[in-house]
Amino acid sequence: MSQPDVQLRRAAWADAERVWSWNNAPEVRRWSMNPRPIALPEHERWYRARLEDPRYHIWIAQVLGRDVGVVRVEESDAVGTVSIALERGARGQGLGRRALGHACRAFFERHPAGALDAWIANGNEASVRCFERCGFAPHGADVREGRTFMQYRIRKEPTG
């Protein structure tokens, strides 16, 4: 059985609360660099600033026209940092990998000689599998507030 296609569309202000709910889910906060819950007004300030920042790209992942998650890429010169959050019902189906692949291709269209990084909390095996299946490889590590985050990097268009 074939899997449904994943599409990305540019995020808009109307998506702010949905993006907040995905990012504020306890299982997402658990693996985030900052695990504390996010207040909606704080998120709205952050989100508005990112929508207006040309170095920041936010896409909504869709399956069969239904919004299922968010992918973000923050660019700094030719290096970007990518992150992804899916709604609970969309996890474990390969949708995140396909959404991530689309976002990576968009980044490498703008920066063919660039690199894209992801920071994954130690122990987050689902994210490690997702990023590795897209062609990311371990590149380093950092300890932030007593928690270890592994740096994964890709320097070419993804394989996934």
Query: What is the model's pLDDT at position 157?
Result: 59
Query: What is the model's pLDDT at position 38?
Result: 94
Q: At 2, is the pLDDT very low, low, confident or very high (cuts 50, 70, 90)?
A: low
For residues 116 and 107, the answer to whether their CB atoms sit within 8 Å is yes
Of 2-6, 89-93, 108-112, where does mean pLDDT reach its minimum?
2-6
Q: What is the DSSP string of 60-115?
A: EEEETTEEEEEEEEEEETTEEEEEEEE-GGGTTSSHHHHHHHHHHHHHHHH-TT-E
Is the confidence at residue 89, as pLDDT, over 90? Answer: no
Burial class (CB in 10 A: 0-12, 13-18, 19+), 8: buried
Taking the CA atoms of 9, 61, 142 and 33 in sequence, report the sign of the dihedral they define. positive
Q: Is 92 left (phi over 0), alpha (psi -120 to 50) or beta?
A: left
Q: At 3, is the pLDDT very low, low, confident or very high (cuts 50, 70, 90)?
A: confident
Average pLDDT over residues 106-117: 92
Query: What is the model's pLDDT at position 90?
Result: 86
Neighbours of 1 (CB within 10 A): 2
Listed by start position, the domains of the chain span 6-154
Q: At 158, is the pLDDT very low, low, confident or very high (cuts 50, 70, 90)?
A: low
Is the confidence at residue 159, as pLDDT, over 70? Answer: no
Is the confidence at residue 160, as pLDDT, over 70? Answer: no
Is the confidence at residue 1, as pLDDT, over 80? Answer: no
Distance CA 104, CA 107 (A): 5
Q: What are 52-71's pLDDT values in tens digits?
A: 999 999 999 999 999 999 99
Average pLDDT over residues 114-119: 95
Instruction: Give me the chain's average pLDDT, please.
Output: 92
Residue written as tokens 């703008």?
110
Average pLDDT over residues 133-140: 94
Question: CATH says 6-154 is which class?
Answer: alpha beta
Per-residue burial over 76-99, b = 16 or more CB atoms within 10 Å of its CB, e = otherwise: eeeebebbbbbbeebbeeebbbbb
Average pLDDT over residues 73-77: 91
